[in-house]
Amino acid sequence: MVDHITLFYTVAQIAGIFVGFGTLIAFTKPKDVTTAQQQALTATVMAGLLVIVAALIPVLLFAYGVSPNLAWPVSAGLVLAINWATIWPQRAPFINALKRRNPFEIVLIFGMEAVVEVPLILIVLHVFPAQSFPLYATTLVFSIVQAASLLMLLALDLTAEDD
């Protein structure tokens, strides 16, 4: 795990950038933002925060000497629980608003969500215990991609001209 600590810190720093950009947009946004735009902003910030937490949970567990056989499933389980408890409720209204606009955006969000959650479920179920680190790293990378996609959709929506 020591070799991977730097990777996790770097991932947390990258995710912090999305949180920062989302917060910056929140403070400089126009007054006439739609509910969907506000929810996209919230989802972007929350996705970034989730990546920060997900990157630091295993670091903390390993610092306390928890074995990899326990640390990976605990980390994955916590990330799934946080994702389901905080992120999904925030995404639902945003996704409903997108349904009226562009189905590709829905596929993008749900497709990445599958790539984020399936590796965590495989870790929790101990399907490939020797592959726990690569599966967890896959989740972190695609969570960052997901946060970037949400930020991109928000930026496109904020800059789009009214039809």
53: nearest Cα among 81, 25, 26, 27: 81
pTM over 0.85: no
* 111-146 tens-digit pLDDT: 778 888 999 999 999 999 999 999 999 998 888 888
Q: What is the band of 98 on the pLDDT scale with cuts at 50, 70, 90?
A: low
- The answer to whether 22 touches 135, Cβ cutoff 8 Å, is no
Listed residue (128, 160, 163, 141) closest to 40, CA to CA: 160
* Closest of 9, 4, 48, 1 to residue 25, by C-alpha: 48
DSSP-assigned letter for residue 83: I
Q: Where do the structural domains in the chain lie, given as residue ranges?
A: 2-159
What share of residues in the chain are helix, strand, coil (percent, to 5)? Answer: 85, 0, 15
What's the number of CA atoms in the CB half-sphere (13 Å) around residue 142? Answer: 19
